[in-house]
Amino acid sequence: MIVSIHQPNYVPWIGFFEKIYLSDIFIYFDNIQMPKNKSFVSRNKIYFNKKSVWLTVPINKKGVQNINEVKIIDNFWKKKHLNTIYHAYNKKNYFNESFNQIKNVLLKDEIYLANLNIEIIKEILKLLNIHNVKIIKASELPLKKQGAESIFEILNLLNAKVYLSGSGSGSSKYINQEVLKKFNIKLRYCNTKLEKYYSHQTEKIEIVSILDLLFCKGVNNILKVFQTLR
């Protein structure tokens, strides 16, 4: 049983979906504290005129909140995001393949940021035909511990044999090899290689939202890379 865990980010990058694709169970880590600084939970980047630009969801930042408690301030930003996405990608080869699906889910009237992000992720999973992974919110599990300590409780509760982690510094700080050994759980890393997706790109490759790949490369080309991961 391969289990992975990640915060529900806003229109995440391709590595987020690689992790889900390679898992048997994926957990939305929605019951941990919302990062105080700028975070991919409420923003992400796309390419526009060969430069990366931020798309940021306005949120209520008052006080200490868990991710699933963070509220969106208003809905006026949605039109701005959609206009930016449209003008950035409407001439790309695969724009019409998925723009309307993204648009429809983005326009949903969600109060909580986590719910909006999860709905967007669900729609992208449909586009990528990823449907054989069990997906659970951490907030729905009977956990006694909080924060990073709950990771090992989640893995033990779900009888994980393998913990699939990201390879970046943000993920590695939550890894305790001794605790994993105690529960007889193997550690495996999801090492996303952007070069596999942007094989013909001559400019510097930057981590941006999966929207860039959906519109520029298309679903089938993404899936071809996914098939090489297993």
pLDDT digits (tens, 9 = 90+) for 49-96: 889 999 999 999 888 899 999 999 988 999 999 999 999 999 999 999
* Residue-level pLDDT at 110: 93
Rounded to two decimals, the pTM is: 0.94
- Looking at residues 198-220, what average pLDDT do you find? 86
For residue 4, list its beta bridge partners. Answer: 26, 164
| Residue pair 221/200 in contact by the 8 Å Cβ criterion | no
Write down the pLDDT at residue 200. Answer: 65
Q: For residue range 4-60, what is the model confidence (pLDDT) as tens digits?
A: 999 999 999 999 999 999 999 999 999 999 988 889 999 999 999 889 999 999 999
pLDDT at 202 over 60: no
How confident is the model over 187-200, as a mean pLDDT?
88
Residue 38's pLDDT is what? 83
pLDDT digits (tens, 9 = 90+) for 128-181: 999 999 999 999 999 988 877 889 899 999 999 999 998 766 666 667 777 788
* Widest pairwise Cα distance in the chain: 53
Mean pLDDT of 110-135: 97
Structural domain including 73 reads: 2-226
Average pLDDT over residues 90-108: 96
Tell me, what's the pLDDT at 18?
97
Contact 67, 31 (CB under 8 A): yes
Q: In this predicted model, which residue has the larger pLDDT, 36 or 216?
A: 216
Q: What is the pLDDT of residue 171?
A: 64
pLDDT the model gives residue 63 = 84
Q: Where are the alpha helices (DSSP H) in 12-148?
A: 14-21, 76-89, 95-106, 113-127
Looking at the structure of the chain, the number of domains it has is 1
Torsion 36-40-43-47 (CA) sign: positive
pLDDT at residue 189 greater than cutoff 80: yes
pLDDT at 172: 62
Cα Rg for the chain, rounded, in angstroms? Answer: 18
